[in-house]
Chain A
């Protein structure tokens, strides 16, 4: 069964942590640099997130995402290095493209922040099975119906892609050209998207009927086939994160 998710199955301690605790970590890792705007705080958070990625043995899988991010960061370095409003100290380059120390510093700050945010999210995404995350959220009070929607998307999306391929075939069978100049391909958009939307909505309606008669709308308490999992170090993690957050707020107020 084809699905798409960035989750990498591994047997690491980080994989075994409660998904909710990982969300809390992500929030903390993004919040602390917001509370403490010093570059050192950002840098520290980034280092921690990166080393946790290494500890979970998912560094290789995070590279494609970082590669894309670094591509944009390169343009950030150029633009900020050349045009940052606070630029004063020229370093090298030819007018008007002169790199300045302040701009490069700014770009560096942006780079660290972006890397930190992306790493914090990646830690959650790469080490958590989406279904486990959803189940934990529903057990914590997320509406089971929303939980169902989140779960089902991982399978409905590939189904829709299959439908799209069939529709492409059906329209090509009626002589629709889908390759060639830009205009030919733009013209092909409507004959493709309309049936995709239509058949998806018809399927959605049929699925709604089937879900309805299987109690998706039931008001009472639900139960689970899977036994509730126990996750290690939950209390310690939450305590630690709370401490870090409080400490940084205190620091900010006092400093």
Chain B
């Protein structure tokens, strides 16, 4: 098969079989690099000094910020896939946004939990209803709602289109989360890494944070590709079972 040439073409990546082949090849590498980055990141995290203002608790940042970043990036990935579903009617796009939802929910949960654990010593309370926290919580509910929607519908194609519409409508929440700390005066501190005028954060914290962020991002993509592969397998099993049911009807029934 002349696949070496065609593999570069996006349209051929569309072929689930081709995707499975690619996934099988790159998944071990991605998993390995993720593990190495996590080891390095965690080492840097625990060897760094505490912040003079926030003390040792600044170490929570190295989990909290990457998780919060992923909770938004995952939704953006889902939004792109949703466009893929609605505009190009791409079967892999369906699979992509369906499988990203549980992963996104998990990372949002980490962001909420670690934020809460950071807030208790800093602000003296587990939870406040300020703009940033509330909008992230709404994001979490949206992830769960999408999971429930996908589970509630029998026909995966229809479920994918309906949830794609919902994902795109819900995308308005992402800018609200990102800019909530600038637009409203909240307890949550403003962004210090991704800014127009360059990061304000101290170099000492920046490196571990960056490495942890890259490690988390790679972890997300590894899990997402693996989950997509599972979903493709699941649909294959389902298709083959349906076919098996049809074939059993055609063979002459045995006399009892």
Whether chain B is bound by chain A comes out as no
Interface positions of A (Cβ within 8 A of B): none
Residues of B bordering A, CB below 8 Å = none
